[in-house]
Amino acid sequence: MQITLPAPAQAWLFGPDAKQRIRMRRTLVASGVYWLAALGQLWAAEIGLADPARALVLVVFLTPGLFGFYLVMRLGLGLRLADPALTMQQMVFAIVAMAAAYVINPPLRGMLLMLVALVLVFAAFTLSPKASRALGWLAVTALGLVMLAMALHAPQTFEPTIEAIHFAFAAVVLPVISMLAGDLSAMRARLKEQKAELQYALARIHKLATRDDLTGLVNRRHMEELAEMEQRRAIRSGSPPCLCLVDIDHFKRINDHHGHAAGDEVLRLFARHAAASIRETDVLARWGGEEFLVLLPDTRPDEARMGFERLRRLLARDEAWGEQAHMRVSFSAGLTAGRNGEPLRDALARADHALYEAKASGRDRLVEK
C-alpha cells in the first residue's frame, strides 16, 4: 500500500522544485537509514554488544546524516554546487560512519564490510565512473587504517590475523565492486549521451522535414499540412483564415546581376522581415523560389492588408537592408479570404490569380480577391 502525503505536506517537506523533490526524497530515505542505525547502536549498547560511551559518540557523529544533509538541501544551499544532491558527500559520510561503527561494534564488523559494498553499488547509479572508483579506494583506505589502528591498539579484541583477513577481503572485493560500479556508471553516461544524440537527430530530422533550409521558414509540404489543419478548425469555428501569396518583384535580376549568393541573402533578409511583421499565430512559408505563402487564422482581409502595408513600408527603407541596400526589393501579393467548406486548392488558386493581377498591374502592390 502506497502512502501519499497531501500536497501542502509534500511542498513543506520537499520544496516546490520537481528535481529537488526527487533528491530530497532520496536524502530522507538515507536519513531514515541513519536513524535506524542510531537506534540499533543504542540497542546494541543496551544488550552489551557495544560500549555505551562509544555508542553515544557514534550516534552524535551520525547527526549530520540524521538532519544535516536534509536541511542543507531543503534550504537550497546545495543548488550552487555541480551536484545539488550532495551524492559524493553523503557517500563519503556513510563510509566514514561505517568505519567508526567498525571500531565500536567488534562483534558486528563483518556485517559492516557488506554495508560498505552496498554503498559502492549505489554509487553506480549516481556518481561518475571516476568518482565511483575513487569512492572504492577511499573505502579500502578508511577500513585499512581502522583495522591497522585497532589491531595495534586492541589486539585482544581485534585479533591481527582476523583483521588481516578482513583487510584482504576488503582490498580485493571493494575495488572490484568499485570497478564494476564505475563500468556501470560509464554505461549509464553513454546511454544518456546516446539518448541526447538521438533526440538531437530526431529534432534535426523534424526540422529538415518541416523547414526550408535557406530561410528557416516552414517549407511547402509542412505548410500544406498546417493549412489543412487550419481549414478543419475553421469549419468547426466558422471563422476561415486568410491566405496571401507573396512574390518578390524582379528577383531574377538580383541573381543575374549579383549572383545566386546575393539572391540567397535577399531571400533570407526578406523572410526575416516578413516573419517579424506577422503575428505569432500567423504562419509564413517559403512556397517555392522567391514565392512565399502566409496563412492568417481568424483574420479579416482589411486586417491582413494593414500588416502587408507595414511590411511594404519597412522594405522601402535602406536600413532594413543594411549592406544589401543596393539590392532592395519590393513585393507583389495576392490576398484572399477563405470560404467555409471550400477546398484549400480553391483558395490557393484564388490567391494565385490575385497575385497574377498584382504583377500585371505594375507590381509592388497587393490585390485582394
Residue 259, judged by CB atoms within 10 A of its CB (0-12, 13-18, 19+), counts as exposed
Cα distance between residue 92 and residue 116, in whole Å: 10
Single-letter residue type at 124: A
Cα distance between residue 254 and residue 327, in whole Å: 7
Candidates 230, 265, 290, 368; catalytic one:
290
Residue 359, judged by CB atoms within 10 A of its CB (0-12, 13-18, 19+), counts as middle
Residue 303 falls in the annotated catalytic set: no
CB 315 within 8 A of CB 328: yes
CB 49 within 8 A of CB 58: no
Cα distance between residue 73 and residue 62, in whole Å: 17
Cell of 242: 486568410
> Would you tell me how many other CB atoms lie within 10 Å of the CB of residue 281?
11
Cα separation values, 245 from 68, 214, 248, Å? 66, 19, 10
Instruction: Cite the active site residues.
Output: 290
